[in-house]
Amino acid sequence: MRLWLSKNSEVPIREQLVTQIVLGIVSNDLKVNERLPSTRDLARRYDIHANTVSAAYRELAHRGWVEFRKGSGVYVRPRTDGQFEQQLALDQLISRFFRHLREDGHSLAEIQDAVRRSFSLQRPDHFLLLEADPELREILVAEIAAATKVTVKGAGPTDLDDGVLLTGATPLVLYGHLENFGDRIDSQTEVLVLHSASVVESIKGQTRPPADALVAIVSRWPEFLRWARTMLVAAGLDADALSFRDARERGWENGLRSATFVITDSLMAPRIPAGCEIKLFRVLAQSSLQDIRDHAERFF
């Protein structure tokens, strides 16, 4: 396998390795089930750090291009699914694009800068909800998806390590939660900050249940259950009349139809058994949901 690595380039060595190996696979220079050089051999051959090679191999494995075989090494991974065929066709087009540019004398750094400029001029095609808590993230994605017809994806801090998910996305984050992502978000990236619904907004228009009512609260997010307990007890409901169901546990739906009504979030609402009266409480403020709608209409 022949590689061209520039140690003086703005493009990291790891990225150069990953790109050239992918191009080698899609151009069929690297065959299916072909064994790649060991981390040590590749590092010694090109006088680079073994950790750099190891990181490149791990990224290729994560993206499905290679696989680690215990005690044997790293091999080009066989792929036969239809989705891969579509991806392969796209990668082959990109491979030819890069080959022509390199033949015209452009460096990888120049190509990368040009591609970045091109991406910066493109309209976004989806929202990316940034949230470290996986359960809260799913709820917020469900709320945003219900409020807009735009595709919504979710991501935690480690999901952004390679930066791919941010491409073509408008990032969204709850107020005060962006700090969980550290320096994974470029300071120049425009992030739409969202606000949580206030207690007043949450209970607006809700009628007080009768004293003998059994109220069930269902969610996969522990904070939702704790928040509901505090709010309902503060509203004067008897704590003994509240039934809290953690939807991550088996049997959470048992006996739910005996409740006067069920308080739940946007993620669990479609999963509540038929015949139950549902009161939906949203995490996001209506003003933030409207901001998302307005943003989608203007920029998508």
Contacts of 204 (CB under 8 A, 6+ apart): none
Residue 26's identity, in one-letter code, is V
pLDDT at position 30 is 86
Taking the C-alpha atoms of residue 177 and residue 181, their distance in angstroms, rounded to an integer, is: 8
**∠ Cα 221 226 228 (to 5°):** 95
Residue 270's identity, in one-letter code, is P
Alpha-carbon separation of residue 247 from 63, 125, 184, 264, 272 (angstroms): 32, 32, 31, 10, 10
CB atoms within 10 A of CB 176: 10
Domain 122-196+290-299: CATH architecture, name and number where available: 3-Layer(aba) Sandwich (3.40)
Among the residues of the chain, which ranges form H helices?
13-26, 39-46, 50-62, 82-103, 108-120, 134-147, 199-203, 222-234, 286-299
pLDDT at position 273 is 95
- By CB atoms closer than 10 A (0-12, 13-18, 19+), residue 279 is middle
Nearest to 282 by CA among 144, 165, 156, 154: 144
pLDDT at position 190 is 86
pLDDT at position 124 is 82
pLDDT at position 85 is 55
pLDDT at position 201 is 63
Q: List the beta bridge partners of residue 56.
A: none
Query: Does domain 13-119 fall into CATH 1.10.10.10?
Result: yes
Among the residues of 148-285, which ranges form H helices?
199-203, 222-234
| Full pLDDT tens readout for the chain, 300 residues | 678 787 877 778 898 898 888 878 876 778 889 999 999 999 999 999 999 999 999 999 988 889 999 889 999 988 655 445 566 666 767 777 777 787 788 887 888 787 777 666 567 889 999 999 999 999 999 999 999 989 999 999 999 887 778 888 999 999 999 999 988 888 778 899 999 887 556 666 667 777 778 999 999 999 999 888 877 876 677 888 899 999 999 999 999 999 999 999 999 999 999 999 999 989 999 999 999 999 998 888
pLDDT at position 102 is 75
Q: Write the DSSP assignment of 122-137 as a string of letters.
A: SPP-EEEEE-SSHHHH
Q: Is the full-model pTM beyond 0.85?
A: no
Nearest to 133 by CA among 283, 297, 245, 255: 283
